[in-house]
Copies of this chain bind each other. A is one copy, B any other.
């Protein structure tokens, strides 16, 4: 192929500089995870489809990348249809025989043998009688679902059958000739019927239904479901509560758009096996620790609790309106109380309900003060009060332990993961002024591993949005200078003798942990000298060593500081000292 190669949309190549920056973020997160006692696990990139399908809702199922089975998958898929119906096929053969027997007797009884439009009569007879023949074999459950297909088949083949019989009818005077006929012709029509059904069935199968027949594996869609699968599969080797972290890519067949990719890393930390609220406290601290370590100060850790949302739903007496409600409430700063009320009414939330929760409009003050308002508001909802109690515990613990650079904030409009979170809900917002969606989020599942048959395992966890964090650090210029530092020293290649001398030194430098390299090709002209200089420059190599004939003779090295442009000729030891500092 000579057309310029490309990569699939929604995927990315990462250059050395990009890899270095991403590695810096991942290592920072990893080391905090480890300080907090989380242990790394890794799971396969693809799982059995049965593990993933149906865990993310219909939308999710659509966005899961399926892996095509190897080999003759179409054959396999078709065979499946035949296999499934082998018993049915047997019935169909009997049906065909019945049809022919009916026809035979009909032909013999009737006078159509002289009738020159016999075939059409027969065809019409088939079309009229076939329903009867089939219903005669009703009760054969396997066949019933075929009824229409069989009728269609006979309609489509009526004339052929009619003509065949018509041409054959002179033999229909002796029974064994009919046996013959069955042997030969029947087989042909039977063949036709089976193919007909297979094609029909195969083609009636929408992709969604065909997929399980030709794909048994799918790419990981997130890290939570594989984690749940891991916990259940290895439950006997795990000490609970199990604190694990996992930093691996996931894949989603989403429509690619700015900042949304089809392959991206998730960095998750979860605990499973305890419902202690100290874990929520720890996750708030962990967010604070990671973003502080990344020098990303002033992030806001928003918290809410599913039980509080349920409480609000109770109060407004419309659980189904909960999302509309929170979405509208979230716009308070933008469109004001009136606007919000208007939107809520438009969504079918009653004025009465709105009045009940009016206090939410004036929800203000710090975490604790806001909780007090909520308390009076949800005083009638047991669930609501439960949620408030949980938030209270977390807030007390945090105010008492303190955070380094982040702020903890209550946000009753925070309604992410409503279909799985059962308690705490987390979301992290970038520092004010940075236009960016949430850079992290998480929550608690009361029953994380239930989907795989291990009951009563409460799990809570958080996730970091690597790509967005990278964008924020870029925007605020927070990557440490040395993040992208590559090779420290570059040796010009003056020819084999000098190169060999250089390689001696390079070997020692590398053993000392200093990254060093020799230009592979020798300088044979000024032009090439320039080429090597350009190479060192473009790769931002801070030091350059010139070791030509003279240096080799004197056992010295001329060290050039690319930044300052200064250069001096030194012994190896002082070269090592310079470069180690």
Contact = CB atoms under 8 A, between A and B. Distances in A.
A504 interface: yes
Contacts of A244: 16
Contacts of A376: none
Nearest to A397: B500
Interface stretch (A176-184, A207-215, A315-323, A552-560): A207-215
B47 A510 contact: no
Contact of A44 (B7, B50, B202, B500): B7
Interface residues of A, number: 123
Contacts of A229: 5, 7
B520 A276 contact: yes
B253 A211 contact: no
Interface stretch (A29-37, A299-307, A434-442, A469-477): A29-37
B232 A4 contact: yes
A238 to B, nearest CB: 9
A123 B124 CA distance: 14
Interface stretch (A66-74, A98-106, A344-352, A567-575): A66-74
Number of copies: 2
A69 B274 CA distance: 41
A513 B35 contact: yes
Interface string A10-34: 0111111011100100000001101
A521 B273 CA distance: 10
Contact of A535 (B158, B203, B210, B239): B239
Interface stretch (A133-141, A277-285, A378-386, A410-418): A277-285
Contact of A205 (B3, B74, B263): B74
B13 A285 contact: no
B279 A45 contact: no
A211 B521 CA distance: 45
A478 B211 CA distance: 46
Nearest to A237: B15
A48 interface: yes
B44 A45 contact: no
Nearest to A486: B39
A113 to B, nearest CB: 15
A518 B116 contact: no
B120 A243 contact: no
Interface of A: 1-8, 11-16, 18-20, 23, 31-32, 34-37, 39-48, 50-51, 62-63, 65-68, 70-75, 116-117, 119-120, 123, 155-156, 158-160, 199, 202-203, 205-207, 210-211, 214-217, 219, 229-230, 232-234, 237, 239, 241, 243-244, 249, 251, 253, 263, 271, 274, 276, 278-279, 281-282, 285, 289, 397, 400-401, 451-453, 486-487, 493, 499-500, 503-504, 507, 510-511, 513-518, 520-522, 534-535, 538-539
14 contacts: A2-B452, A3-B453, A5-B453, A6-B48, A7-B43, A7-B48, A7-B51, A37-B515, A37-B517, A72-B207, A75-B207, A116-B117, A117-B117, A271-B520
